[in-house]
Structure 1
Amino acid sequence: MNVVQKPETAAAAGNPLKKLEAVKQSPWLDFIQRSFIHDGSLKKLVDEDGLKGVTSNPAIFEKAMGHGTDYDDQFKQLVGGGNTDVSTLYETMAIEDIRAACAVLKPVWDATEGLDGYVSLEVSPYLGLQTEPTIAEARRLWKTVDVSNLMVKVPGTEPGVPAIRQLIADGININVTLLFSLDAYKAVLEAYIAGLEERHGKGEDISHIASVASFFVSRIDGLIDKEIDKRVAAGDKDAETLKALRGKVAIANAKMAYQHYLEVSASPRWQTLKAAGANPQRLLWASTGVKDKAYPDTLYCDELIGADTVNTMPPATMDAFRERGTVAETLGADIEAARKVLADADRLGLDLNGVTTKLVKDGVDAFADSFDALLGAVAAKQTALLADTLTKTELSLPQDVDEGVKASLDRWRKDGTIRRLWQRDASVWTGKDEAKWLNWLTIVDDRLGDIAVLQSFQDEVKAKGFSHVLLLGMGGSSLGPEVLAETFGHRAGFPELHVLDSTDPQQVASFERKVDLANTLVIVSSKSGGTLEPNILKDYFFDKVKQAVGDKVGSHFVAVTDPGSHMEEVAKKDGFWRIFYGDKQIGGRFSVLSNFGIVPAAAMGLDLREFLENAQRMAKACSDGAPPLQNPGVILGTVLGVSAKLGRDKVTVVASPAIYDMGAWLEQLMAESTGKEGHGLIPIDDETLGGPEVYGHDRVFAYLRLADSPDAGQDKAIEALKAAKQPVVTITLSNTLQIAQEFFRWELATAVAGAIIGINAFDQPDVEASKVETRKLTDAYNQSGSLPAETPFGTDGDFSFFADEKNASALGGSSLEDVIKAQFARIKEGDYVALLAYIERDDATRDWIQKARLAIRDGKHIATAAEFGPRFLHSTGQAYKGGPNSGVFIQITADDAADVAVPGAKYSFGVVKAAQARGDFDVLAERGRRALRVHIKGNLKAGLDRLGQAIAAAAA
């Protein structure tokens, strides 16, 4: 069928690239770059060399976008135009180039009636082994680019074949890539024909559809020749025959593919489609650059010339062929010799099938690696252009942590784990119910979409002239708003935000005194609506506000709760002014950027758009397209997770004074998410920095540094820790509004850390256990009018000591000092001590607990936690009970100076607090924790003073 012409050299016959047209082969260029298109270089190739198409791939775009300046202006325009993610940045710029190249090639497309003149754009290489996502991606790109001479590039993998068939049936031009074996090519050609037949059978036009099958060449010889050289060097008995096969196998393989093309083209089945206007799926020779300098640099051009084929050449190969290429119809020549080459290769065990199988896998991996590099380069430029509008991260890690972090980040890159996380794949964690708790990933965009409603509420709050906002909540519904209140304070023209998250009767009364009830907006915040504390706080303050304003009480109340909750029923029954809904697929500790945080932010007068757009900026920086090495959330989470697995599980949060309260929010996020099944992160918040000598080897330090108001003492202490080879993550915020960015980054980081540790980051089984025990005690009180009796194992004046039998036997002693000393004697290296104080949280008690914890840390060189109950029950309590058994606990309770009744209930706030403390302690004991409860009667200050002295003495 093919007549071999007499070879004509470039010198004798002019430009070989132009001469290819005479033998019906089309030269395409495997290269694209913006300046190359805009300066006329691409058009010059079309005009002077007869160029008929262009292919692109991630490696080409990575070189162009990541290392040149061609794209800088558009980079700046896109980054400055609003928040966008890395994938969108790349795609926007790539599509502009593709369209521009298509415009240059459009005259070729017209002249050849749609046979040539195409520019290829690849579907995401991450989809190489996924059928349905490939179809969806190709359809989206086809629609987005919207030019007739686009070819969407799809890999010819086993999952890619059905995608190709469907896309051809859709009428989309397809460049099939990554073909190495004859069998794979046969499957692809069958898919093309079947897709055309399906379309034709429905009476749809098939004359405008074009496709090429990219058959890779030089990579085959690269592996085969390497094996040949190895065997020849080893003295193989067939050395001479093996040497004769060098540089021959790939071409022979390609010739067999072309023979199959010719056979199918002559078949009645194809002739029927041809009569209906179908274009052939031409073989395209890819990977035609010569890697071995022993071969002519035009080898894979000279030897693969034949009708109805394409040769896509990198620029250097095209230059070489233009200068010294030989044009002859070689593809159909010496077919028997080609068959012998393949037979010899098979007989000698060169395993062409194994080589092509490996090359497909390697090709998929290599394309993904190139795409990682491309997106990483785009991400790096984006970060540089964002400058101070995005928070910065600096790592200072000891060698073992640094090596572990790098290895983990590379695994996440190779496994595509961040993409799986964003796809809500539960197997990232434990494969249980994690997927239903991930709406926090997109809640910022959701809230921006609803911002008009939130801003309207904000305007109404201001118009009503409230002087205070009192938020009633626990855990996730209160800690985020508390950060806002502490960080931004009282905003001019808006009410001042107060957050009450305690059942301590003194604290309830104290907050009542802080606000003018007649001019206070009360936000009752409860996801489930069934949590005890928000419900009784609501009952109390509803009664108090009613006494102040009468029947208008409902107009002073707003509920934030999940749809269908008990709190929604209460709010409707009591005529609340507004009900804002949470998202059932967001857990409380991940809810700060949902209505649970944004409604209080609106009420206190924050600029909602600016706040949410800050959060969005970080969400985009942490998107699925940002490779792990450039992904702020993945980097932070990897440091935390890897450190925990290396025994550095005490995450010590240090924050600039103006944003100090971030630590309280981070405590809950990390502790509830990771502290379970005997593993997890133990957050250490508000522990004043000391010198390197007071720390062990179980810490990782997270320093949230506010650039516009840094603390010189903190900076100096952090530098000393770095010098001492302690792991330090420094996160620099340019201004306070960037805490919104850190909200999102730490949520993602915590999810990543949970995945690395190997737990479900979204349940809290041991928090629920404490609630169950508390409910048992309050039920008992309702039935009998008193809590069940309990007997101390020892007393000392105003002090009583409680513990389960095992702990009591270990502690013994009759004096406070002896008991505390015995408890501290159980501390081991790598432990931490937690002081759990069920007393009013005010300035005096906070000062006391700080002095006590620092005495322990400096004396014992271990981490310390200083917590107030019951708020920590919905925060660090999970890690204390479900995390590693490295905690030594001293629970502190006291007689209440005064109690406060709960309207409509038999029990009081004091009774509830006592039940919570006892329920908490019971679960600690049940989990085998080293737990001691010290109860103070009488004067609380005097009792705390003596307890503090006993702690200092025991720690010394």
Structure 2
Amino acid sequence: MNVIQTKPGTQDTGNPLQQLGKFGQSPWLDFIQRSFIENGGLAKLVREDGLKGVTSNPAIFEKAMGHGTDYDAQFKQIVESGNTDVSEIYETMAIDDIKAAADVLKPVWDETKGVDGYVSLEVSPYLGMHTEPTIVEARRLWKAVGKPNLMVKIPGTEPGVPAIRTAISEGINVNVTLLFSLDAYKAVLEAYIAGLEDRKAKGESVSGIASVASFFVSRIDGLIDKKIDERVKAGDSESETLKGLRGKVAIANAKLAYQHYLDVSASPRWKALEAAGAAPQRLLWASTGVKDKAYSDTLYCDELIGADTVNTMPPATMDAFRDHGVAADTLGANMDQARKVLAEADRLGLDLPGVTAKLVKDGVDAFADSFDALLGAVAAKKAAMAGDLVATSKFSIPAELDGKVNEALEAWRKDGTVRKLWDRDASVWTGKDEASWLRWLDIVDDRIAHLSELTAFQDEVKAKGFTDILLLGMGGSSLGPEVLAETFGQRAGFPKLHVLDSTDPQQVASFERAVDLAKTLVIVSSKSGGTLEPNILKAYFFDKVKKVAGDKAGAQFVAVTDPGSHMEQVAQKDGFWKIFHGEKQIGGRYSVLSNFGMVPAAAMGLDLKQFLDNAERMAKACSAATPPKENPGVLLGAFLGATGNAGRDKVTIVASPGIHDLGAWLEQLLAESTGKDGKGLVPIDGETPASPEHYGNDRVFAYLRLSDSPDAAQDAAMKALEAAGQPVVLISLANTMQVAQEFFRWEFATAVAGSILGINPFDQPDVEASKIETKKLTDAYNQSGSLPGETPFATDGDFAFFADETNAKALGQGDLDAILKAHLSRAKAGDYVALLAYVERDASTIGWIQEARLAIRDALHVATAAEFGPRFLHSTGQAYKGGPASGVFLQITADDAADVAVPDARYTFGVVKAAQARGDFDVLAERGRRALRVHIKGDLKSGLERLGAAIRKAVAA
């Protein structure tokens, strides 16, 4: 046994702290703070009190970093130097403090030949019940600090024990924390010895390795005394004996641990290691601050003084011991009394084993809670310092819903669900294949790493002098690029981006007329490469470009598709200029920050570095280390999920004019991700805000406000809704580049909401159902030259009405006005009405459908959706068929004024569109939806005018 003395000349002073050295005990300080180091306070303790070490923990750092000003200068420097997450900020500053403290204590380490002079830094408290991650973290921190007088704190939990052994075998100094029971201490001491033996067996030196076993004291008395007090109050027959045990069990427990240390130190096994230069693992008394004012404030110092021990004291306890503590050899004294105390505690059923087991669990939880508080404080300060570099969110939630949102946030915090999500743990959702669809989590870093490839492509596009870019895609392949085109417009010196996502023949022809095919870059965007629409659009435009460019047509084509897809084969065969690969582990609606969004962004001349840096800022803000209440993605997801579960399942999206198209992208993300299994969030985009009386109690409102060009009418409408008690989230974007941040925020939030709703947010079963029905119809056309016949259940001039038997029976045989009135009257409070128009989407039809939907909204006070087919099939179509059965659907089809042939196919674009409409309608009917199809024959404009008038009449009071 090695008895450590203080340096000569200090042990006879009147300072009780220095006198501890006479008895082989080292005083350490359980406190660290930058100003305390920088102003010489720590050095003064070393010099005047014989201080020999420092321990730290999250609670200590939380007070200093989150609420003081000591760290503000470095904090600001870190935030401004680049994109960092909160754990990186905390660790950078904490390690700097640990290094500085280690330098102050290095002379002590030198003087004591490595027995004392240590500073402790804790592995992440989240790892308390995980072995391998703890080992990895211990190695990383040991290397990052790079000081020989560092001790890495590892909890003495059951999973922590093998990590301790491994760390010691690798020469890492370890401070073992969270020890309460004798059995746990025995396991830890065994791990230390076994680790040294492992090292020795490898032929490596066992000298110069230090460890302490932190045995917690006062917390035991805290729980035992509470049990005693409860029994005494209840009139227990052994009340006097029980009262005699107050404040004694923890000290007795510690004394027995020390006896075990002495026994092991005398064993031949230890002597062999000692002879090889090994130092003992000293017992460290932790949690020595007195909680009960009935006891002396130096109780857990006075009674636990002995050789080869450490007492780490909080500042108040150290001050008290300096003032009136008594240094004496007490640890080995009165052992019979200590054993009697424990025997009595056992006889009286105070359950010390149960208490210590609870304290370990509570300790792990408390350390994690403290770490949450620390990281939350760091995150809040980071957000404040970042200013408008990160788009902010502000929630206005009525009390009855606010509680539900907070419950969801607290559940995510307690369960560590944010970390599980980033760890790709499918149990966050349904435990199925979700882990296979999470590559979007780190796609921003991936694209930043490959930025040079994208910028090189951008330079080549500019050099080639293209005037236009025509992107052909559907759903996730088109909606993200459309946001970029609508938000940023044409960039100087670059071609204009057009996004075509329709099989309507008039729309196809309109886009063809809008570009100069001889100077157009065509991007064919299809993840699977097997989606019908991109394939026939590619066939059509490749044929057209070939007529002006001949055999060089392929030089004007670029493909974005997953590796090995059918589209990749087509692109190779046709000599495409470039092929960019997507990620198979990213679903289409989560793909905007992958090549499906970044390739068109590059081609149109967007500043890719600035754009991706913005996306990275939000990804860092949503990191695994950011606690839920400070995590923008989790906050939004909890708001959506918890209110959705409470019946507020219509997510009404209001966006500033400069970023208006974000709503179309959000529609797909929310509807396709959450609308399934009869649950889900129904996005309502483009509904012009109205006064509060127009809305029911089934909505939440998401207001995406562009701060540098707000809309006064929108501001006023949103404030009125807040005042009326509607749940509103205001998301403020400082500039259009922060659209990149919203892409990531909403992807993350949708994944969170899916978890809270209890669904898999990464599949789309009902989209596939519509595709199957469409394929049946196009196959039938290929075989017979016509689509299968259908008979309307009623007609009225140029209008024919179609429905399944159940719906037809409910709607009767009347004229246009009667049928529409019967249909729309089925919409009740909590329902929504969706207008699904399979016609060309242009300014005229957009104006018409908007007028019609607002008439319905204002008269019936229900949410309305205004969609164009087949575009919405790859978007909101999933929620309409698989989500809650609260939709009333009016599908609108029409004769095509002119059709467009599909090269090398029997069917035309008009036939494909008709097949898609019928397939869509068949699935709606099969799912029992309230659905009516109105087909307009003849002139579309006049037909829509009459239909609009009939809708307004049908909903009029």
User: How would you bin the TM-score normalised by the shorter chain?
Assistant: over 0.9
Alignment-derived partner of residue 857 in structure 1: 857
C-alpha separation in 2, matches of 1:831 and 1:2 = 78
Which 10-residue stretch deviates more, 587-596 or 398-407?
398-407
SS of 1:215's equivalent? strand
Partner secondary structure for residue 452 of structure 1:
helix
TM-superposed CA distance for 1:825, in Å, is 2.2
Distance 1:625 1:518 in 2: 51
1:427-576 matches, cutoff 5 A: 427-576=427-576
1:800 aligns with 2:800: yes
In the alignment, the residues of structure 2 paired with residue 922 and residue 799 of structure 1 have an alpha-carbon distance, to the nearest angstrom, of: 19
Note the alpha carbon deviations across 1:336-357, whole angstroms, 9 max, x for none. Answer: 0000000111111111111111
Pair 1:134-2:158 in alignment: no
> 1:818 Cα deviation (Å)?
1.1
SS at match of 1:290: coil
For residue 283 of structure 2, give the secondary structure of its aligned residue in structure 1: strand
The SS at the match of 2:407 is: helix
Shift of 1:634: 0.4
The residue aligned with 1:659 is 659
Shift of 1:11: 13
Deviations 1:649-678, CA, capped at 9 Å, x for gaps: 000000001100000000000000000000
Q: What's the offset of the Cα at 1:204?
A: 0.9
Q: 2:884 is matched by which residue type in structure 1? A: P
2: CA distance between counterparts of 1:570 and 1:113? 72
How many correspondences in the alignment? 951
Distance 2:826 2:659 in 1: 35
Distance 1:780 1:639, change over 3 A: same
Q: Deviations over 1:849-885 (max 9, x none)?
A: 0010001000100000000000000000000000000
Asked if residue 83 in structure 1 is aligned to residue 83 in structure 2, the reply is yes
Q: Residues of 1 paired with 2:922 and 2:11: CA distance?
A: 94
- Tell me what 2:172 maps to: 172
State the match for 1:241 in structure 2.
241
Shift of residue 243, structure 1, vs aligned partner: 1.1
Percent sequence identity over matched residues? Answer: 77
Letter in 2 for 1:709: S
The whole-number CA distance in structure 2 between the counterparts of 1:133 and 1:950 is 66
CA distance in 2, matches of 1:297, 1:96: 33
3-state DSSP class of the match of 1:442?
Answer: helix
1:708 aligns with 2:708: yes
1:342 equivalent in structure 2: 342
CA contact (8 A) 1:2 1:329 kept: no
Cα RMSD (Å): 1.3
Distance in 2, matches of 1:472 and 1:11, equals 84
- The aligned runs of 1:648-687 (5 Å cut-off) are 648-687=648-687
Q: Is the 8 A contact 2:831 2:888 kept in 1?
A: yes
Task: Please list, as runs of the form range in 1=range in 2, the aligned pairs for 1:876-887 lying within 5 A after superposition.
Answer: 876-887=876-887
Q: Distance in 1 between matches of 2:850 and 2:794?
A: 27
Distance 1:788 1:11 in 2: 102
- In 2, Cα distance between the equivalents of 1:478 and 1:12? 81
- Residues 736-781 of structure 1, C-alpha deviations (whole Å, 9 max, x = no match): 1100000000000000000000000000000000001111111111
| 1:792 Cα offset (Å) | 0.8
| In 2, Cα distance between equivalents of 1:347 and 1:538 | 84
Aligned residue identity for 2:736: T
Map 1:107-506 → 2, pairs under 5 A: 107-506=107-506
1:143-174 CA distances to partner (integer Å, 9 max, x unpaired)?
A: 11111111110111111111111111111111
Distance 1:498 1:385 in 2: 39
Question: How far apart, CA to CA, are the structure 1 residues paired with 2:672 and 2:617?
Answer: 26
Give the TM-score taking structure 2 as reference length: 0.99
Partner AA of 2:649 in structure 1: D
Matches within 5 A, 1:932-947: 932-947=932-947
Structure 2 counterparts to residues 721-760 of structure 1, below 5 A: 721-760=721-760
Task: Note the C-alpha offset of 1:13.
Answer: 5.0
Distance 2:150 2:773 in 1: 66
1:21 aligns with 2:21: yes
Q: Specify the alignment match of 1:602 in structure 2.
A: 602
The Cα of 1:2 is off from its aligned counterpart by 13
Aligned-partner residue type, residue 943 of structure 1: G
- How far apart are 1:680 and its partner, in Å? 0.3
Question: Is the Cα–Cα contact under 8 Å of residues 466 and 495 in structure 2 kept in the other structure?
Answer: yes
Q: After superposition, what is the alpha-carbon deviation per residue over 1:287-325, rounded to whole angstroms, capped at 9, x for unaligned?
A: 000111111111101100000000000011111111111
Q: Report the AA paired with residue 136 of structure 2.
A: A
2:31 aligned residue: 31
Residue 820 of structure 1 aligns to a residue whose secondary structure is helix
Question: 2:145, 2:446 → 1: CA distance?
Answer: 27
* 1:814 to partner: Cα distance: 2.7
Distance 2:692 2:622 in 1: 33
Q: How far apart are the structure 1 equivalents of 2:276 and 2:288?
A: 34
Distance 2:923 2:674 in 1: 18
Please state whether the residue corresponding to 1:306 is helix, strand or coil.
coil
Deviations 1:925-952 (A, max 9, x none): 1111111110000011111111111111
SS of the residue corresponding to residue 493 of structure 2 reads coil
Query: Quick one: distance in 2 between partners of 1:906 and 1:693?
Result: 53
1:783-820: CA deviations, max 9, x gaps? 11111111111111111111111111111123111111
Q: CA deviation at 1:44?
A: 1.1
Give 3-state SS (helix, strand or coil) of 2:852's partner. helix
- Equivalent residue number for residue 621 of structure 1: 621
- The answer to whether the 8 A contact 1:561-1:568 is kept is yes
Partner of 1:791: 791
Structure 1 residues not aligned, in runs of 5+: none
In the TM superposition, what whole-angstrom CA distance separates every residue of 1:576-611 from its partner, at most 9, and x where no partner exists? 111111011100000000000011000001100000
Asked if structure 1 preserves the Cα contact closer than 8 Å seen for 2:11 and 2:21, the reply is no
Matched letter for residue 420 of structure 1: K
Q: What one-letter code is carried by the residue in structure 1 that aligns with 2:237?
A: K
Q: Secondary structure at the match of 1:331?
A: coil
- The answer to whether the Cα contact below 8 Å between 1:833 and 1:887 also exists between their aligned partners in 2 is yes
Q: Is the 8 A contact 2:2 2:308 kept in 1?
A: no
| TM-score under structure 1 length normalisation | 0.99
CA distance in 1, matches of 2:200, 2:431: 44
Q: Which residue of 2 aligns with 1:843?
A: 843
Partner of 1:47: 47
TM-superposed deviation, 1:12 = 8.8
Conserved 8 A contact 2:289-2:314: yes
Call closer, same or farther: CA 1:11–1:781 in 2, change over 3 Å. Answer: closer
- On the 8 A contact 2:667/2:876 being kept in 1, the answer is yes
- Does the 8 Å CA contact 1:521/1:558 hold for their aligned counterparts? yes
Do structure 1's residue 889 and structure 2's residue 869 form an aligned pair? no
1:533 CA displacement: 0.3
> Is contact 2:685-2:865 (8 Å) kept?
yes
Query: In structure 1, the residue corresponding to 2:326 is in which secondary structure?
Result: coil
Amino acid across the alignment from 1:243 = K
11 and 904 in structure 1: CA distance in 2 versus 1, 3 angstrom threshold = closer
Q: Which amino acid aligns with 1:233?
A: K
Deviation sequence 1:372-415 (CA, Å, 0-9, x none): 00000000110001101111111111111111111111111111
Counterpart position of 2:921: 921
SS in 1 for 2:606: coil
The corresponding residue for 2:780 is 780
Rounded Cα–Cα distance in structure 2 between residues aligned with 1:325 and 1:644: 60
Higher mean alpha-carbon deviation, 102-111 vs 600-609, is at 102-111
Matches of 1:122 and 1:851 in 2, distance apart? 62
Question: Partner letter of residue 147 of structure 1?
Answer: K
Instruction: Determine the structure 1 residue equivalent to 2:867.
Output: 867
Distance 2:20 2:544 in 1: 91
Counterpart amino acid of 2:307?
A
Tell me if structure 2 keeps the 8 A contact 1:2–1:332.
no
- The residue identity in structure 1 corresponding to 2:873 is L
What SS does the aligned partner of 1:935 have?
A: strand
Counterpart in 2 of 1:718?
A: 718
Q: Which amino acid aligns with 1:133?
A: P
